[in-house]
């Protein structure tokens, strides 16, 4: 099976005619094994698939797009690479549906950091492909969305967003713009904060798992 991205898979323990998909998208400088480490804790009816980002940073580290620094140490993201990854993941979702008995009307993205930023871009650009987003330690980056995304139908899209109040990588102020932004598009969303840095706490894990089960 030759798909667009390298990935790890946990088959559903409860087999249905068509099973839901939870696609895990790791952060910058990580790899597909990172989020997959808690695959065994996730709901048993899901295909849990963890994708590896396409840009190799060496030593087992990968990125969905480059992050560059200028002379004043200002960070800026390569939006063109981000758009390529956005489209690559959208294509990868189609490939998974073609190759596994996945319910195309029950696809969830779980992204951390750069993976969360891309999860927003994919879901808001292609809400027909994604029904739920769990975005951890990320933010909304409108420049990497499809141009006419505001014309999309978001009525079936639901978002769980979470961020650490002492995140040293992505400022909490960026994350706090998420809920008002999603409200402006009438997207149903939950936004939670946790007293942690750039990571996932046990409470946060428990909260998004319960959210996933309820929805």
Task: Taking residues 6-30, report their average pLDDT.
Answer: 96
Q: CA-based diameter of the chain, in Å?
A: 55
Helix (H) or strand (E) holding 184: helix 178-184
- pLDDT, position 72: 67
- pLDDT, position 73: 63
State pLDDT tens for residues 134-173.
999 999 999 999 999 999 999 999 999 999 999 999 999 9
User: For the chain, which domains are there?
Assistant: 7-214 (3.40.50.1820)
d(CA 161, CA 135): 5
Residue 68 above 80 pLDDT?
Answer: no
Q: How confident is the model at residue 71 (pLDDT cuts 50, 70, 90)?
A: low
Can you read off the two tokens belonging to residue 138?
């990320």
- pLDDT, position 210: 97
* Mean pLDDT rounded to a whole number for the chain: 95
Burial class from Cβ neighbours inside 10 Å (0-12, 13-18, 19+) for residue 95 reads: middle
State pLDDT tens for residues 193-203.
999 999 999 99
d(CA 6, CA 92): 10
d(CA 64, CA 130): 19
- pLDDT, position 111: 98
Report the percent of the chain where pLDDT is more than 70.
Answer: 97
Residue 24 above 80 pLDDT?
Answer: yes
| Span of 10-24, 44-58, 75-89, 179-193 with lowest mean pLDDT | 75-89
Which residues, other chains included, contact 87 with Cβ-Cβ below 8 Å and sequence gap of 6+?
none
- pLDDT, position 70: 66
Task: Tell the residue number behind the tokens 């030593």, with chain if given.
Answer: 59
d(CA 80, CA 65): 8
Beta strand pairing call for 67-69 and 61-63: unpaired
d(CA 64, CA 136): 16
Report the percent of the chain where pLDDT is more than 90.
Answer: 93
State pLDDT tens for residues 104-122.
999 999 999 999 999 999 9
pTM of the model: 0.96
Q: How confident is the model at residue 184 (pLDDT cuts 50, 70, 90)?
A: very high
Evaluate the CA torsion angle 87, 103, 158, 213 in order and state its sign.
Answer: negative
- pLDDT, position 1: 75
Closest among 11, 53, 36, 25 to 123, alpha carbons compared: 25
Residue 74 above 90 pLDDT?
Answer: no
Task: Taking residues 186-210, report their average pLDDT.
Answer: 97
Residue 77 above 90 pLDDT?
Answer: no
């Amino acid at each position: 099976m030759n798909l667009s991205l390298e990935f790890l898979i946990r088959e559903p323990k409860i087999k249905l005619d068509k099973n839901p998909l939870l696609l895990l998208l790791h952060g910058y400088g990580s790899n597909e094994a990172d989020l997959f480490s808690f695959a065994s804790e996730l709901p048993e009816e899901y295909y849990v698939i963890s994708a590896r980002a396409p840009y190799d940073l060496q030593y087992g580290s990968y990125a969905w797009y480059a992050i560059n620094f200028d002379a004043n140490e200002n960070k800026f993201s390569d939006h063109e690479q981000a758009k390529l990854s956005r489209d690559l993941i959208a294509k990868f979702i189609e490939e998974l549906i073609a190759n596994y008995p996945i319910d195309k009307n029950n696809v969830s993205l779980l992204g951390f950091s750069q993976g969360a930023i891309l999860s927003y871009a994919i879901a808001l650009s292609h809400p027909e492909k994604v029904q739920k987003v769990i975005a951890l330690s990320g933010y909304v980056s409108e420049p990497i969305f499809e141009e006419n995304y505001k014309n999309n139908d978001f009525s079936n899209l639901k978002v769980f967003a979470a961020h650490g109040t002492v995140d040293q990588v992505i400022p909490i102020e960026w994350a706090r713009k998420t809920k008002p932004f999603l409200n402006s598009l009438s997207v149903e969303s939950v936004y939670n904060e946790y007293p942690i840095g750039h990571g996932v706490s046990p409470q946060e894990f428990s909260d998004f798992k319960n959210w996933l089960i309820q929805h």
